[in-house]
Amino acid sequence: MYMGYAESQRWLRAVRHEVDTRPALAAGRVVPFVIPSFPVLPAAAEIISGSALVLGAQNAGWDDGPWTGEVAPSMLAELGVTLVELGHAERRRHFHEDNAMVARKVTAALAAGIKPLLCVGELERAEPADAAAVVYEQIAAASDDWDAAASMIIAYEPVWAIGAEEPAQAAYISAVVQALRTLLGRHGLGSLPIIYGGSAKPGLLPELAHVSGLFLGRFAHDAKNFGAVLDEALAAAESTPARP
């Protein structure tokens, strides 16, 4: 909610320009997405139509019906939303969303055909194995079964790094995600998409291992930074053999 309605549209056009000037994105190995505020979604769908950009929403309710002020996943799907961010640390802290509520939202999103982008992360810096265990439990609590978890994207955001001047150290992020992949591997989910957020910015992605991408916040307010991260992701994709 840093940008107003008109400013959000200007930003979306600038982001689309960054995407359109990188034709390599058409191959689909790097998937860029934008998640604007609810009122902007219809305009955003028009602005990014025909581009490689995927449209997401910042939150969702858990059902249709008498939930004044909420937005149903079914309505988001009508608007062309295919990705929804759920369980962000700010929602958990300020709006008291617990694991049970996040799980209801995940179930509703999947029922509407929308992929959950599940935000998880430890409150304070810990040993990587301990942080991974906390995140693993959050993922387990958010889904009825591990088959449902297979349909998610995981956004690993250490709460202590959100809004900080610098992201968590690359070695720490890589170690946590590696340990998390080992835990998820018990359920055949070792290759689940896991992106890092928490003061993420250009220059970080090339330093990371085991991470699928970045979840940018304020550093993407300048669309050129978004483009710079796209270049880093494209370079990483070129150096990685394509999966069958």
Q: What is 163-226 written as a DSSP string?
A: T-SSPPPHHHHHHHHHHHHHHHHTTT-TT--EEEESS--TTSGGG-SS--EEE--GGGSSHHHH
Of the residues 18, 85, 88, 232, which is catalytic?
Answer: 88
Is the pLDDT confidence value at 244 over 50?
no
CATH number for the domain spanning 139: value is: 3.20.20.70
Mean pLDDT of the chain: 96
Specify if 91 maps to a domain. Answer: no
Number of domain units in the chain: 1
Specify if 62 maps to a domain. Answer: no
Active site residue 238: no
| Lowest-confidence region among 76-85, 101-110, 139-148, 192-201 | 139-148
Average pLDDT over residues 111-135: 98
Active site residue 18: no
Note the pTM of the prediction, 2 decimals.
Answer: 0.95
State the residue range of the domain holding 183. Answer: 121-244
Of the residues 18, 97, 122, 157, which is catalytic?
Answer: 157
| Predicted confidence (pLDDT) per residue in 125-157, tens digit | 999 999 999 999 999 999 888 999 999 999 999
pLDDT above 70 coverage of the chain, percent: 98
Specify if 69 maps to a domain. Answer: no
